[in-house]
Structure formats: structure tokens, C-alpha cells
Amino acid sequence: MDRDQVLAIIDQAYAARQANDEEALGQIWAEDATFELAGETSLLENFPGSTGPEAGKPAVEALMRLVAMSNVTRLNAVVEGNKAATLSSATVSFAGRPSFETLLYDLWEINEAGRVRSLQQFADTARVVHEMRALKEI
């Protein structure tokens, strides 16, 4: 798998994520895929993927119900074989709250069939905590 193929799969995943298209995501995620949001688990308050690697498709579907995402723009990428590290900017909104710009650093692994095997995402943990606490106050 070459660089362009790996990045095309990642682009498809983010396009499906932004469209909240669970069916399209189902085509992209491998059956045994995992998702993990990196950060201190005690601060992330049961945020999808915050307790370590979880089943990828259900974790991302839960995340889609909680966080709307748009305007994802890849700023940089390093691809080595079937693995990629990407830095992207995105606009996100937690459960209808005001949207904000953020950066996402993702570590991807793609399997031989061209499906996502794993995604470890590094986000602004402080902002995630702030948004989750604000949701509790509503």
C-alpha cells in the first residue's frame, strides 16, 4: 500500500465522519479495529475511546452522536507502509454547543484489505474536559 492509498482511506474516513455516515464508516473500519482517545482517563469522564483501545466502529459511532465535526483539513502527514501520522484542523461542536476550531493528531494503521485497523487520536484534552463538564450543567 502506498502513501496515496493510505491517505485516501483516511480522507474517506473523515468524509464519512463529517457526514455522520455510519454505513460508510462501516465499510472503512475493519471488524477488529480499535479506537483510542489519548489522554488522562480520569479527566475524560467516559468519553468514547478514553479508557484505552475500544472496538473501533462502536466507539466512533458514539463519538459521532456526541461531537459534530466539519472543515477537517489535513495539515501534515507522515506515512510509512500501512501506518500514518496525521495532523489536521477541524471544527467541532459537542452536543449542539458552540463550535470551535481544534487540532487533531492521529495515528492510523490500515490493514491489508484497505480498512482502518486502529486509530489513536490525540485531541485537546483540556477542551474535551471543559465541553463534557458544560454538558453536565445543561
The total number of structural domains in the chain stands at 1
Mean pLDDT of 119-136: 87
**Host domain of residue 14:** 3-137
> pTM (2 decimals)?
0.89
Q: What is the mean pLDDT of residues 90-104?
A: 94
Ranking 61-70, 80-89, 105-114, 115-124 by mean pLDDT, the lowest is 61-70
Q: For position 129, which CATH number holds?
A: 3.10.450.50
pLDDT tens digits, 20-79: 998 998 899 999 999 888 877 776 666 777 666 777 778 888 888 889 999 999 999 999
| Average pLDDT score over residue span 113-135 | 89
Long-range pairs for 77-80 at CB < 8 Å and ≥24 separation? 77/7, 77/10, 79/3, 79/6, 79/7
How high does pLDDT run on average in the chain?
89
